[in-house]
Amino acid sequence: MEVAYLQTPIGIAEFKGHEEGLTSITVIDENRPFGIVPEVLEDAVYQFREYFEGTRKHFDLTLNPEGTDFQKKVWNALMKIPYGKTISYLELSKQLGDVKAIRAVAAANGKNPLWIVVPCHRVIGSNGDLTGYAGGLHRKKWLLEHENPAKQQSLF
């Protein structure tokens, strides 16, 4: 398992993976040595830099997360949420075919090991509240604003 780190505007991103793909991307608060990025993680680090610079809206990476079949089904559904858009946990449950599974969907969302690439930050409460985010609600808010910044209206 290879590891790399990248300083982002909202913390240090930690990438883990191997030849079969990325297994996790998380945000950490403690300092880590940055060093040389292993070859198998170079593309992920490069694409993340582009995302935070505002020039990348879609990731093209080989993913290999560990999880149950249900979790993987939820994570695949998350990847269909367009950049700059949000949906509710209820909407996501409906898309997956079982409105009663809302708590299980939320739990799977919370176990997402691939921060930003699998965009769990785009799922909000039915009333529009920013609910639940493993990386902290301040990061969720930042990511949503980054993806859909409010444009200043011209007065003239």
Identical fold, 2-53 and 69-147: no
> Sorting pLDDT into bands at 50, 70 and 90, what band is 150?
low
Q: Is the pLDDT of residue 153 over 60?
A: no
- CATH class belonging to 2-53: alpha beta
DSSP H or E stretch at residue 61: none
Query: Domain extents for the chain?
Result: 2-53, 69-147
pLDDT of residue 76: 96
pLDDT of residue 151: 56
Residue 8 CA to residue 68 CA, distance in Å, equals: 30
pLDDT digit string, tens, across residues 73-91: 999 999 999 999 999 999 9
Return the higher-pLDDT residue of 105 and 154: 105
Stretch 118-141: mean pLDDT: 88
If you average pLDDT over every residue of the chain, what do you get?
A: 91
DSSP string, 92-145: HHHHTT-GGGHHHHHHHHHT--BTTTS-GGGEE-TTS-----TT-HHHHHHHHH
pLDDT of residue 155: 54
Positions marked active-site: 120
pLDDT digit string, tens, across residues 13-48: 999 999 999 999 999 888 777 889 999 999 999 999
| Biggest CA pair distance of the chain | 56
Residue 114 CA to residue 101 CA, distance in Å, equals: 22
- Residue 41 · residue 4 · CB < 8 Å: yes
Residue 122 CA to residue 84 CA, distance in Å, equals: 8
Q: What is the CATH number that goes with domain 69-147?
A: 1.10.10.10
